[in-house]
Structure 1
């Protein structure tokens, strides 16, 4: 771009406009050609999208010169090139995570969900109040992203694409504002309390009426900034709700504050009646304090699960085709790029190792601190740490679609499915606010009819004491803390309501291969048909299995197959004299996978099949199976047996311990596609009630359906493509860490680590969450029911109501955060 070209659109800058339109982009002063380009550039920078200029491949289009009058800054987000980084495709729909500013309590989340769900084109809205984020799915054919953000803006909330750094900055801005308002309220509350307490208890002696009125005016002066500035948080929330033609928890709070404040002004000016300026200040201070503590608790929980991207380095060392190295940003890496990771460095992106050997710390993903050895063809993930060796990695996912980003998105999606307890609490709190306003009105009417001078103050006490803030926090605070705890342990929830369902599970069905076992197969025995060369058979088997995602395929890799061949150098195996020779490489075409059966493919125009006897052995050959009693994998050509293999696996180290724990409270069943003989041999020493082998995916599905029809609540654990149907049909589905992508898609819970002991921990946490939610809701409802008669009867003064309401919210939040330490 020439010196006098527009930095935004690339067109030449007229001599008369040279230096006239400038702005700072990427730390440097940039020249623009017109007011339109300047306005768009400033909007891009203001909205946190400055990286657009760093990664764009061509200049933008020239903007309309009159755009200054009509530009809505939010329209910047509709640019497809800007959306590339933070908008995800969900079929024909689009999905985005938004950082939300202005959220103060659970009512805000409800308000946002209610308003956005009314907008045509928005398919799903899930607001996570704890993390101040929203997951929005919309149809790009019906609505634009800028319109969604404008709708948020109209109800008083600022939404922007979620970036970990920006999200953290947003939290710090809100925390700073909270501290300013809280600090002012605290200082003024102390002053007003000392002044008014002295008057109430006659500490100043017999002072004249003029002096008393003077003190009232001083108290009013000190209270005014607290009401107008510190309390503004509640008024904005109430105004947003009323503008949306609904009510939330801030409405009774606002009525109580302004009612007491105006009554105090009236009493001060007319020099008659009581004033409660100290109650106003204390009310605002304690309410702000409870929300500040809630704000910090939300952040503490969110830090564990939401900001996993903080582990991913900003830069990466890219290996160029000519062998030279260059530094680049991790977000610039594309699929098939090659990066070098040195000892002690953090892996910047998801990929496959093409050279090197190193121990990698994956604890940030799995919660397991034992390093995992990585070598050629091993999969590595961004954010994990290379400890003791160098790795050359081929990129398989862009940073946008990296595992850590997928985890963050799945966590947000999980909160879209609220448990029944959360839905009941949300609905109850909405109606409860309306009931509070109605009860307050009736209370005032009754006491006014009785001629009581305290009718107004009794009504204020009712408004304050019964504010259902704690009820709104009861469920979301517990759920978020639980999900954060599980995420730290390498357990990823795809549905929050799965936690509720787990507590009802009484039967656990498990796949054998790769779930109970390690999934590290070896060929323990092999047979070959007469006239079949073992090397030829193995090379064909290897070619077919190289296209398969099943764990058994690893047993037929070059090194393992030949080591097995050598070890079995008896009459059953015709081994070659030169085990180090390169195997024949076959080209496989028309490759197909039959879940639960096996695989097929053509090599040199000949169809070969490999898998179970039922799948690939012709009926005429079934009588020969008795010659291979322990074989579980067959290689056939046109249905005729060419070779048979006994492929064996071993139990995971923690299988026995895990099943012993689960068997104490659950019925355990194994549903496997392996032979019944192998299943019985493996489960003989395990606390398994039912062990079925030789099952197809359909038979596994039917088995789970039969359990459910008999009244059982079934949890299914699996890892393969053939497990997807049965996983989808179970009440709760768990995919183990080495599961295929299909299995993970069908599952409700994904174990990121390789430890089965995570399952008892998951069940334990689910029961703890259920208990916490019950405790929180019980406390919230119990408090309101208990305090209401005292408030209505006039036994509760405004300051007592203030203390009780604030403590109620603090107790609920504190009780939920205890989950993080258990």
Structure 2
């Protein structure tokens, strides 16, 4: 049945011409005319065509042809993506009611593809964020399910020419193989055509010098034309498609000069073949397309190798779990296990899901998370992460996190976010690369005009060589390739870097500010002395202190609770009401008549109404904690916290990397100064309240110093937020993890130094890549324009330059030892 393509009031879609489903009311008002559409995809496609200035499309197309809307069967198939059961495995529900999905996009091959998908997806109703990762070909989309369905998102992506499906780790390799097969097929056609055309070219060259009858020469020209045509239009289609998409969107990409060069050379050779006068260049067309496809294939493999950190993490998690249900053990797919169920893990097996040890114990190899190869002892109550290896003991685990909330998936999200984020240096390179293509076309036009007046026989060859050899691809890949490799390598070392911009800020850091407890020290203080006030029994002091400590997670509170438990063997009586005063102490109430407090001397002195409260005199610089009840002092606890075994080496590494170090703590100045002296920190500042920590960081910044802050507690969060870059150590409080730009999964302080070393090395690699790209083009452009480069040589040099940039970035996969570090 004929359909009206240019009317909007007859029940047919203005864009695709198919009937508009009942109840769909998608319109655009243009003056007196109302354009009606059958779906969001058609409306978006129409808006894109209009914004690109291609209104003539609707006037010129055949009114009997559909615009390509999926048929009803395909639409029904897409509806399966909206199944709630299916979405449990691929869609993440966010706290604000929105949803997030990772889509694997087939067909992404340049920055224009990224721009188009982000623009189209962001235009859908309810879509609040759409970000495409060029390295992994994945789109992260956040949307309101009340306004848009997942099937509509996928439908829209497919309408603009990209095959999009929810990301499934098991489907990634299949997608890679499909893309590689397509490239290999195009390479095979190009290689077959190029090989045969080159053989014919040898005959023609021989005939040029020895003489050849015109009829044979014409025959070989026609034979070359027949062989070269499928190479241009089939093997060269990816370049033409990229150029057309770029022009449609009013952007210039590297596919454009390639397509122009190939078309000019082919068209000129066709004209020579038809006219029978002159020499053909079909050999040049076929050979440089073959070399370009080969380069793209190798570059794709190198990029995939650089970007497979997340696939590697996801692939190591087991697919089955041994679940205990009603006393019986079942092998169940991991995705079907619920929170609260019990899982058994035998020695030598991988732990399938995050959980807490219910029974058993033994060493667990957490190298895949922290980079540390030494197994960590796990006993009753300890947390374990899915994907880690149970080395030598049977475990029964209660599942605490599944799906997107698991440790591995959270790491994957952070790594992907880091790889997608663009540092400032990349933004500049992207702008330069965009203008560079326009400059190439201008220079090529000038080269053609010049050689037409000087030596017309060389004009075509020199122009094509210039179009091919110039390469903003290397410039465009210089930064993202390094960022992708660096973040992947860092994740394997137990370092999560949240963005490419973080790498740049981390590399610029001049001063590293270190929290003391839990960062430089072990974070496990122990009670060294107990001093009682007059007429106070030790048992009573321990009872009150343990009760207060039971309501706090602070390391000092835990140490006092453990000491009291060891002395009395009894569990404390928790306060009916308790309140933590950040950085000061804790108060507890039992009814209306009993209140007790424990904490720093100024905190207790203020409550007791005295000007000052001095801890007992002692030659050792202990951390003193006072305990008081109902307005009177009960006594003191003296605690000490040893530095981490690698703290001295880590501080030495900071200094070797060119950073000044400051130890900043709320602990007593004498304690902080002693710890600083033990580990070699340059500056020590003690007795600092949480708000004052932020002030110290701000003062350093006011003096022009770029500050990196390393911390682990709630009281560190304001200072970490103020710092140029924040680093949270292992087991940091959730708020510190959220504030941090870098999260360390290893307990070693040296991991922070390694993060800075990786950042500094990454910026060196980026600068090397950018320098190489600029020098390459500065040399290649004059050589090509002056006629010193053949098109064949240009076709080899252009992809080779991109491969060099990617190969240089891949050097970041090798984790180099820190200054002074001993390797085995």
Query: What displacement does 1:678 show?
Result: 1.8
Query: What displacement does 1:317 show?
Result: 1.2
Partner of 1:99: 104
Partner of 2:642: 650
Partner of 2:138: 133
Matched, 1:676 2:669: yes
Partner of 1:276: 281
Matching of residues 470-509 of structure 1 within 5 Å: 470-509=474-513
Equivalent of 1:625 in 581, 604, 614: 614
CA distance in 2: counterparts of 1:119 and 1:422, whole angstroms: 28
Query: What displacement does 1:450 show?
Result: 6.5
Matched, 1:409 2:396: no
Residue pair 1:106, 1:469 contacting (<8 A) in 2 also: no
1:733-781 alpha-carbon deviations (Å, 9 max, x no partner): 1111121211111111111111222223222222221121112112222
Secondary structure of the 1:340 match is: strand
Matched, 1:609 2:601: no
CA distance in 2: counterparts of 1:216 and 1:536, whole angstroms: 105
Partner of 1:244: 249
Partner of 1:51: none
Q: TM-score, with normalisation over the residues of structure 1? A: 0.84
CA-atom RMSD, angstroms?
A: 2.7
Equivalent of 1:636 in 614, 628, 650: 628
Residue pair 1:616, 1:639 contacting (<8 A) in 2 also: no
Query: What displacement does 1:383 show?
Result: 0.3
Deviates more, 1:686-695 or 1:389-398: 686-695
Partner of 1:40: none
Query: What displacement does 1:443 show?
Result: 3.8
CA distance in 2: counterparts of 1:494 and 1:638, whole angstroms: 48
CA shift in 2, pair 1:94/1:589, >3 Å: farther
Matching of residues 196-275 of structure 1 within 5 Å: 196-202=201-207, 206-275=211-280
Residue pair 1:658, 1:756 contacting (<8 A) in 2 also: yes
CA shift in 2, pair 1:536/1:254, >3 Å: farther
Equivalent of 1:592 in 562, 579, 591: 579
Residue pair 2:712, 2:728 contacting (<8 A) in 1 also: yes
Secondary structure of the 1:327 match is: strand
CA shift in 2, pair 1:444/1:121, >3 Å: farther
Residue pair 1:734, 1:747 contacting (<8 A) in 2 also: yes
Matched, 1:435 2:439: yes
Query: What displacement does 1:249 show?
Result: 1.6
Matching of residues 503-522 of structure 1 within 5 Å: 503-522=507-526
Residue pair 1:621, 1:641 contacting (<8 A) in 2 also: no
CA distance in 1: counterparts of 2:604 and 2:398, whole angstroms: 36
Partner of 1:4: none
Residue pair 1:155, 1:244 contacting (<8 A) in 2 also: no
Query: What displacement does 1:514 show?
Result: 0.3
The count of corresponding residues between Structure 1 and Structure 2 is 739
CA distance in 2: counterparts of 1:524 and 1:411, whole angstroms: 43
Secondary structure of the 1:632 match is: strand
Secondary structure of the 2:343 match is: strand
Residue pair 1:117, 1:125 contacting (<8 A) in 2 also: yes
Deviant stretches of 4+, over 6 Å = none
CA shift in 2, pair 1:260/1:118, >3 Å: farther
Matched, 1:661 2:653: yes
CA distance in 1: counterparts of 2:463 and 2:700, whole angstroms: 57
CA distance in 2: counterparts of 1:117 and 1:424, whole angstroms: 23
Query: What displacement does 1:140 show?
Result: 4.5
CA distance in 2: counterparts of 1:391 and 1:539, whole angstroms: 35
1:112-167 alpha-carbon deviations (Å, 9 max, x no partner): 44554565654444332222223333455655444443443343322222221122
CA distance in 2: counterparts of 1:663 and 1:790, whole angstroms: 46
Partner of 2:27: none
Residue pair 2:418, 2:487 contacting (<8 A) in 1 also: no
Secondary structure of the 1:347 match is: coil
CA distance in 1: counterparts of 2:675 and 2:611, whole angstroms: 25
Give structure 2 stretches of 5+ with no counterpart: 1-69, 817-824
Deviates more, 1:536-545 or 1:177-186: 536-545
Partner of 2:297: 292
CA distance in 2: counterparts of 1:302 and 1:795, whole angstroms: 37
CA shift in 2, pair 1:323/1:209, >3 Å: same
Give structure 1 stretches of 5+ with no counterpart: 1-65, 566-575
Deviates more, 1:149-158 or 1:135-144: 135-144
Q: TM-score, with normalisation over the residues of structure 2? A: 0.84
Residue pair 1:333, 1:399 contacting (<8 A) in 2 also: no
Residue pair 1:356, 1:389 contacting (<8 A) in 2 also: yes
Secondary structure of the 1:396 match is: strand
CA distance in 1: counterparts of 2:71 and 2:269, whole angstroms: 50
Query: What displacement does 1:633 show?
Result: 2.5
CA distance in 1: counterparts of 2:107 and 2:599, whole angstroms: 58
Partner of 2:7: none
Residue pair 2:365, 2:388 contacting (<8 A) in 1 also: yes
Secondary structure of the 2:597 match is: strand
Secondary structure of the 1:71 match is: helix
Residue pair 2:121, 2:156 contacting (<8 A) in 1 also: yes
CA distance in 1: counterparts of 2:87 and 2:611, whole angstroms: 58
CA distance in 1: counterparts of 2:433 and 2:126, whole angstroms: 28
Residue pair 2:623, 2:671 contacting (<8 A) in 1 also: no
CA distance in 2: counterparts of 1:427 and 1:654, whole angstroms: 44
Residue pair 2:91, 2:101 contacting (<8 A) in 1 also: yes
Query: What displacement does 1:723 show?
Result: 0.7
CA distance in 2: counterparts of 1:520 and 1:305, whole angstroms: 34
Secondary structure of the 2:142 match is: strand
Matching of residues 777-792 of structure 1 within 5 Å: 777-792=770-785
CA distance in 2: counterparts of 1:771 and 1:201, whole angstroms: 51
Secondary structure of the 2:308 match is: helix
